[in-house]
Structure 1
């Protein structure tokens, strides 16, 4: 009687081959392709410069589509993948070559973006620029998985479209452009933040490349009779790997801690601070040696005993040692400033709208009513004593050389209603008295 095979074993026998990476591996083609990435001369150099200009323009005008286009044509991925590949194959000479190429590419990119942003009339930092100044754990993970995808796609006989997607996902060019922007504006926070993000992306791409090249068993450099040199090379590579991996692990750890802190702070605000009668106008979450949560509140006030209880509850959100600052008094400088800014914006908006409408309407009316001297148009409220309520209305006040006739008044009112789009309208016409 034939013995039945274990279904679990059968399942894994069916599943395992589907994860093989060696079936359609093209080692000679991969080595040739990676070697080309070390060349930053001629067309490659010009492509990099033009791609940086395109990405800088995209960041300047806040156009995601333009930025994506620049990332697609950028040759920056080549030397970074080459660094990981050379380290994995014990090729110290190639490692130095790729590092030199990457350094030149980085410097050229920053100088190019610096030149563009120094000449650009738009000096405001758009959202796409600001997003490239602070790395998060997600940036590190994207770089790691993007690097893995890139080297796997690059080692296939059929390259497919994955490499283009990796160039977009890992986003190497925008941080360099942001660094150039920071340099042109003298903003060192933007500059170092963007360089930091670029280094994180590059390091994790190289690490992913190193791991998969070793897994796919690419041939290592054979030093032949020069065993002493081979030993020295291995020491150099070990030191290089240590320098690259240890700081990146520490960086990843710090990024995870920062993301965890900010997530817990958001949860604390959402659960403990926000109620039906209270809203958060502004919040500032700072992670570091002296972590702080600063919140500007609107609505029902938190008294001292409630504030003490909230500070005590921070420990339940793993936020021990965090300073909690609540800005809720009208006498608070920050809130006074915020209130002033809000009211100023509302007033300025109303003035702008009123000026534009009044000016246009008055000039048009002057064509049809030559006796019209001055005009003003404003939104206001009138009190209805019968119903004991305020009602919205619009007031048109005007001075005339000669008062309009009844027929002219009807035309005037009809024209203003049509031109302003308002249904409720009060007309005041006054004869200008000459002194």
Structure 2
């Protein structure tokens, strides 16, 4: 039974001859002629994809990139202790890395678009998950290389391990003198290269490829050196993963605090920004129509520590100008047309308001003072005198023969603070004027 299980998962089934695999690996190491041109073109494509934030373009660049060759070659060289092959692989990888950085930096330097997109940002903070992706992606890749039937895994490995985007992001960091981007992205690229190489080393050792040395002590030293390098590479990624975990935890706790203390109490939050990397950490919020006193804001700040938000400051934005500028700034990151539409709508509303009387009690007062009135319409219309300009005039249209027109006109002028009021009694006319623009009718 146990033998059957081992036979079922045995990696030697379907294995290509070791000599042919080594020949194939060696042939893909060199970066000269066509390989170098393909690499440069792939780098430009990936840089454009990062520039315009297009995932599809970035994936296409990863598929045509020949960067996997020297990395796998270095893994085979370590697994077989072939230092001539290792030297050649490392040299080719360094050339490819230098060319990639130079081409991507040149592209981003001349590109007029230097906005930081989400695809760029995602390559600047590697963590332990990137280590796992690189390692298991490398395992899949080398297993596929050692098979008679290569199958489909290799393109998937090229996409999953993502060697091109970090290099291009590092080039962006160089071109814009943003060295935090450069070091973060280059560290991710180094992680990918190293752990693909280590995964290749493990598979080569497991499949028992012939070794170039016989001295066991020398072999142990190499294994010890590899173990030290793994620790050196993996410890920073654990630290970055720990920071990412704390940031997600803080964001989730802050969201829960906002929901419990504000949203559940009926306060409509229209703006929210959580700052984890500042000192102290910040929570900025603004409300639709709720205002808080300084004492209330101080009380909420004291409540933060009790809710797991230590070393955090709550800022409640209550200045209209400040809030609007912040909201428009956030909206403009996604769609600049939104603010333009808001401005247009606001202008139309102001223009419409000039023709209306915005007083809900106005009509009720008229009914009390002049109960005999019927068919009341009122609003502001554009009056065109014998000049080249127009002006607005309040017009009041009604039915009622017993109404004192002079008294009504005087009352309307005082009540609405209008200098010019026109009265139209439809009882004396066949129909109201056709060119009036009425604001309300009862």
Normalised by the size of structure 2, how large is the TM-score? 0.70
Question: Structure 1 residues 338, 97: CA separation in 2 closer, same or farther (over 3 Å shift)?
Answer: farther
Match of 1:182 in 2: 173
1:274-285 equivalence runs, <5 A: 274-275=259-260, 276-277=264-265, 279=269, 281-285=272-276
1:336-347 equivalence runs, <5 A: 337-342=322-327
1:41-120 equivalence runs, <5 A: 41-120=32-111
Among 302, 311, 327, the alignment partner of 1:308 is 302
Give yes or no for contact 2:286–2:317 (8 Å, CA) kept in 1.
no
Runs of 4+ in 1 over 6 A off after TM superposition: 343-347, 386-389, 395-400
Task: Give the drift of 1:252.
Answer: 3.0
Other structure's SS at 1:383 match? coil
Match of 1:298 in 2: 286
Q: Distance in 1 between matches of 2:39 and 2:162?
A: 14
1:383 aligns with 2:358: yes
Match of 1:5 in 2: none
Give yes or no for contact 2:275–2:283 (8 Å, CA) kept in 1.
yes
Q: Distance in 1 between matches of 2:381 and 2:188?
A: 58
Match of 2:210 in 1: 219
* Alpha-carbon displacement from aligned partner over 1:103-139 (angstroms, at most 9, x marks no partner): 1111100100111112222222222222221113332
Match of 2:311 in 1: 323
Other structure's SS at 2:285 match? strand
Question: Structure 1 residues 378, 23: CA separation in 2 closer, same or farther (over 3 Å shift)?
Answer: same
Match of 1:410 in 2: none
1:408-427 equivalence runs, <5 A: none
Among 20, 41, 47, the alignment partner of 1:29 is 20
Other structure's SS at 2:238 match? helix
Q: Distance in 2 between matches of 1:219 and 1:388?
A: 100
1:273 aligns with 2:263: no
Match of 1:125 in 2: 116
Question: Structure 1 residues 125, 14: CA separation in 2 closer, same or farther (over 3 Å shift)?
Answer: same
* Alpha-carbon displacement from aligned partner over 1:314-368 (angstroms, at most 9, x marks no partner): 2xxxx8xx5212112547xxx974443436878754446789xx9xxxxxxxxxx
Task: Give the drift of 1:305.
Answer: 4.5
* Alpha-carbon displacement from aligned partner over 1:231-257 (angstroms, at most 9, x marks no partner): 55763x346414521112212321331
1:200 aligns with 2:175: no
Question: Structure 1 residues 256, 398: CA separation in 2 closer, same or farther (over 3 Å shift)?
Answer: farther
Give yes or no for contact 1:175–1:198 (8 Å, CA) kept in 2.
yes
Among 216, 231, 235, the alignment partner of 1:246 is 231
Q: Distance in 2 between matches of 1:45 and 1:59?
A: 21
Structure 2 unaligned runs (5+)? 333-337, 365-379, 391-435
Q: Distance in 2 between matches of 1:274 and 1:101?
A: 55
Task: Give the drift of 1:173.
Answer: 0.3
CA-atom RMSD in angstroms: 3.6
Structure 1 unaligned runs (5+)? 1-9, 359-375, 390-394, 404-425, 429-435
Question: Structure 1 residues 256, 47: CA separation in 2 closer, same or farther (over 3 Å shift)?
Answer: same
Q: Distance in 1 between matches of 2:109 and 2:42?
A: 17
Among 241, 244, 258, the alignment partner of 2:243 is 258
Normalised by the size of structure 1, how large is the TM-score? 0.71
Deviates most, 57-66 or 107-116: 57-66
Give yes or no for contact 1:377–1:397 (8 Å, CA) kept in 2.
no
Question: Structure 1 residues 239, 106: CA separation in 2 closer, same or farther (over 3 Å shift)?
Answer: farther
Larger Rg: 2
1:160 aligns with 2:145: no
Question: Structure 1 residues 401, 98: CA separation in 2 closer, same or farther (over 3 Å shift)?
Answer: same
Give yes or no for contact 2:284–2:317 (8 Å, CA) kept in 1.
no
Other structure's SS at 2:169 match? helix
Among 127, 137, 140, the alignment partner of 2:128 is 137
Task: Give the drift of 1:84.
Answer: 2.0
